[in-house]
Structure 1
Amino acid sequence: MKRIALTLAACTAFAAPAQAFITAPCGPEFTPLTITEPWEENTRTFANGAIRIFEIFIDPNVASGAALGILHPAGSGEEYRTCTAIYQSAEFRFFAQAFVAEATAFYDPAVGLIITVPIADAGHDGPVMVRFAVNQTTGVVSLL
């Protein structure tokens, strides 16, 4: 019985939505120098390379110095991509770690490409799932 309770608790913690997270345009901290190394583990592409997610880490001396970046089309007819960030909150922008290599995605015609990334956060015992949609037609990233 104890094993079942622990398993359920772990699944609940892992599947919990990240309600406090926010999206915003990428700030000046999003540079190639802040993308977490190795890039092969901390960046992923989707939609035939049109969408890239990546983790940045601002300060290696701080336990919660990471944020998630999304490079994506700016919308139909736009020539360039844009960058949207997912931050912990408006007050405290960074979290502990994004497990980009474990991200999953599927396409929903109603909202766009839905991507789920496990995030380690100092406020939770286990990872939480950050789920967001990237609409390539409108160029909008929205948390789900």
Structure 2
Amino acid sequence: MRFLFVFIAALMATPALAQTSFPCDWEAHVDNIAEPWEDNIATFANGAVRVALLDTIEPAAASYYLLVLHPPTNEMGVRVCTSIGLDEGLGYAAMFFSELEASYDPETGLTLQIPGIIYLPEQIFQNSALVKISINQATGDVTVTQDLGNE
């Protein structure tokens, strides 16, 4: 019983993994699109949504992000630019763009799934993850969740 209490206390002391979406910033520069571009850029929803794998090089253990251009557009026709990372300033250790999958549900919108690896050096924690991104094209809302242990 004591072991269970210690285990639960340790889990509560560990910071939650934040996976998040945020407006494009420094990580979304065009020179951060992972090469070769033709293998790391995809479009969905009849071209309305474009996704690119980004590699910012540093921090080396957390340099991968996704860039998502999506509706709604402004009066000039420019789409919203959203970055997906573990947290602002912290990406994933890896994202496997060739395994990116998309599905559409009228209730939730476009959903993308991509396997990745998270690494948190402060906690000496590494794990595979399935990152799920839901994009509501009408509102521009982007929701990110992840399932750990995607072996």
* TM-score (norm. length: structure 1): 0.75
Q: Match of 1:68?
A: 66
The Cα offsets for residues 89-127 of structure 1, whole Å up to 9 and x where unpaired, read as 24x522212212211111111110011111122246553
Q: Match of 2:144?
A: 143
SS where residue 101 of structure 1 aligns? helix
AA at the equivalent of 2:114: V
SS where residue 28 of structure 2 aligns? coil
Q: Match of 1:112?
A: 109
AA at the equivalent of 2:32: T
The worse-fitting range, judged by mean Cα deviation, of 38-47 and 119-128 is 119-128
Q: Please say which structure displays the higher CA radius of gyration.
A: 2
Report the count of equivalent residues.
Answer: 126
Matched, 1:43 2:46: no
Q: Is the 8 A contact 1:115 1:132 kept in 2?
A: yes
Q: Give aligned-pair identity as a percent.
A: 34
* TM-score (norm. length: structure 2): 0.72
- Out of 42, 57, 72, the position equivalent to 2:55 is 57
Q: Match of 2:93?
A: 96
Q: Counterparts of 2:78 and 2:70 in 1: how far apart (Å)?
A: 9
Cα RMSD of the aligned pairs, angstroms, is 2.4
Q: Structure 1 runs of 4+ off > 3 angstroms? A: 75-78, 123-126
Q: Is the 8 A contact 2:48 2:71 kept in 1?
A: yes
SS where residue 44 of structure 1 aligns? strand
AA at the equivalent of 1:122: Y
Runs of 5+ unmatched residues, structure 1: 1-17
SS where residue 128 of structure 1 aligns? strand
Higher relative contact order (CA 8 A, sep 6+): 1
Q: Match of 1:4?
A: none
Q: Match of 1:13?
A: none
AA at the equivalent of 1:79: G
AA at the equivalent of 1:141: V
